[in-house]
């Protein structure tokens, strides 16, 4: 029986690369999107036409009910949840003194609460099966912090703390939890020049790491915060 993975924020970027990676390697894939319906359905169609089992579902991860429905769809369609990739997130470039309550609430609800909600719902199924693997996507700014991105950095740092705690809490149930902290993907020359490898990372490179962490090849790896930033944080 093929394994099932749920990927949030799968219509573009790292999420899209993860959807393509897992589908191409025989996983049944459920992925969520919020606003980019055209991109999500196009991705779904392109993969289904290749014979892969992929389903796109509109879902707002900042809403706990939506997260519950997302996981229920995976179980109803594919019978179980073997892996969860919490990738959905938003960014905010704003000075601390200019950040409004509404902006802070929105970014924390999406980037932190959304990961919590999805992990909570997936864990219920994984605990029943006594197996599973979760990968939460943070950011290099969640480790080092970024000037003028204090709210974003805080939300991604929270994901790191949550991942470490869940690795300890869920480990006895056979569930592994790891966190990936990517560098930036955009073509930013100044950051590329400050990166030891001399370039900006690719979404596919992050997806390769996520795939490894979800799979059986990393069966004794849990509670790890792994940077995929070309050495930027060294």
| Cα three-residue angle 16-19-20, rounded to 5 degrees | 90
Residue 212 appears among annotated catalytic residues:
no
Among 33, 52, 117, 152, the one annotated catalytic: 152
CB 28 within 8 A of CB 199: no
Burial class (CB in 10 A: 0-12, 13-18, 19+), 51: exposed
- Which residues form the catalytic set? 152
């Amino acid at each position: 029986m093929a394994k099932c993975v749920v990927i949030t924020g799968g219509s573009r970027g790292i999420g899209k690369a993860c959807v393509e990676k897992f589908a191409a390697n025989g996983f049944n894939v459920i992925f969520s999107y919020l606003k980019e319906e055209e991109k999500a359905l196009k991705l779904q169609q392109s993969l289904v036409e290749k014979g892969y089992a992929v389903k796109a579902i509109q879902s707002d991860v900042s809403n706990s009910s939506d997260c519950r429905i997302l996981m229920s769809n995976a179980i109803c369609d594919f019978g179980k949840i073997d892996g969860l990739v919490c990738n959905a997130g938003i960014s905010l470039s704003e000075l601390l003194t200019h950040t409004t309550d509404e902006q802070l609430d929105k970014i924390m609800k999406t980037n932190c609460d959304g990961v919590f909600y999805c992990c909570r719902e997936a864990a219920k199924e994984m605990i029943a099966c006594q197996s599973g693997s979760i990968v939460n996507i943070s950011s290099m700014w969640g480790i080092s912090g970024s000037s003028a991105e204090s709210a974003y950095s805080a939300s991604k740092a929270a994901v790191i703390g949550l991942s470490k705690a869940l690795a300890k809490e869920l480990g006895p149930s056979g569930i592994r939890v790891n966190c990936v902290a990517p560098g930036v993907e955009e073509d930013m020359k100044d950051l590329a020049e400050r990166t030891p490898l001399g370039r900006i990372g690719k979404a596919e490179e992050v997806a390769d790491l996520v795939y490894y962490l979800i799979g059986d090849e990393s069966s004794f790896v849990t509670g790890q915060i792994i940077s995929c930033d070309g050495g930027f944080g060294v």
